[in-house]
Structure 1
Amino acid sequence: MKRRTAREKALQALFQIDVSSAEPAIAIEHVLEGESSDEYLSKLVEGVVEQKSEIDQLITENLEKWTLDRLATVDRNLLRMATYELKYCKTEVPENVVLDEAIEIAKIFGDDQSSKFINGVLSKVKQKLLTD
């Protein structure tokens, strides 16, 4: 499975977990729709779930005039996934690739403003991680 596909499926699984409190393994199985499992997909979903409070804190620090619970569910989970990649997958994925992928996925799954919003927040998260 290509990384883009793994990210899209991970976003769908994280959306399910966020909305219905599904177990990560069940959410992953559901989005795979009979396809074989993917290591990167599982890593993203499980990593976001495990590090959620730290990730949410980092995102919240970089939101202006918004709270995490007011964000669209797609945007919130896309930010979580990309923040996880920025913070925990530094050696695997270049930061610019993470941002580019998140922006492209936002164009597919989000609304008209999602890609700009995602870009703005993730750029701040990236800067924060560089200065820490």
Structure 2
Amino acid sequence: MKRRIAREKALQILFSLDNEEYDVTTTLENTLSEEEHDPFLFDLVHGVVDKKVEIDERIKQHLVKWSLTRLAVVERTLLRIATYELFYLKDAPESVVINEAIEIAHVFGDDKSGKFINGVLSKML
């Protein structure tokens, strides 16, 4: 699975987990087919869930006039994924991680999501 697809699937899975109190393993199994089990995807999902408190604190420090709870779920989830990648995985260049988050925001978010994601992630770095 390409990393872009893994990031999009991670967004969908984490979005579900954020809206409902589902079990991570069950959500992964229900969302993915056998051929989609990808180590990068599993790392993103489990990593964001495991480090959610730390990730959210890092994000909160860079929000101006916003609270984490006021963010749209898509934006909040994309910020969590990108923050996890930037500060815990570090196997992709920062510019690639940010660009991927922006591109996915254009697909799943609204017109302003990409700019917002870019602004917050850029402040983190």
Q: TM-score higher than 0.5 here?
A: yes
Gaps of 5+ in 2: none
Structure 2 residue aligned with 1:120: 119
Question: Does the Cα contact within 8 Å between 1:10 and 1:28 map onto a contact in 2?
Answer: no
1:81-107 per-position Cα deviation (integer Å, ceiling 9, x unaligned): 0000000111x1111110000000000
* Structure 1 runs (4+) greater than 6 angstroms displaced: none
- CA separation in 1, counterparts of 2:79 and 2:20? 19
Aligned residue number for residue 56 of structure 1 = 56
1:25-44 counterparts in 2 under 5 A? Answer: 25-44=25-44
Cα offset, 1:33, TM superposition:
4.1
Cα distance, 1:72 vs structure 2: 0.2
State the alpha-carbon separation in 1 of the partners of residues 74 and 29 from structure 2. Answer: 19
* 1:69 counterpart = 2:69: yes
Q: C-alpha displacement at 1:30, in angstroms?
A: 2.5
Matches of 1:96 and 1:73 in 2, distance apart? 23
Alignment of 1:108 with 2:80, yes or no, is no
SS of match in other structure, 1:12: helix
State, as a whole percentage, how many aligned pairs show the same letter. Answer: 58
TM-score (norm 2): 0.96
What amino acid is aligned across from residue 96 of structure 2 in structure 1? V
Question: What one-letter code is carried by the residue in structure 2 that aligns with 1:29?
Answer: E
Q: TM-score scaled to structure 1, two decimals?
A: 0.91
Structure 1 gap ranges (5+): 128-132
Note the aligned Cα RMSD (angstroms): 1.0
CA distance in 2, matches of 1:60, 1:31: 29
Q: Give the superposition deviation at 1:35.
A: 3.6
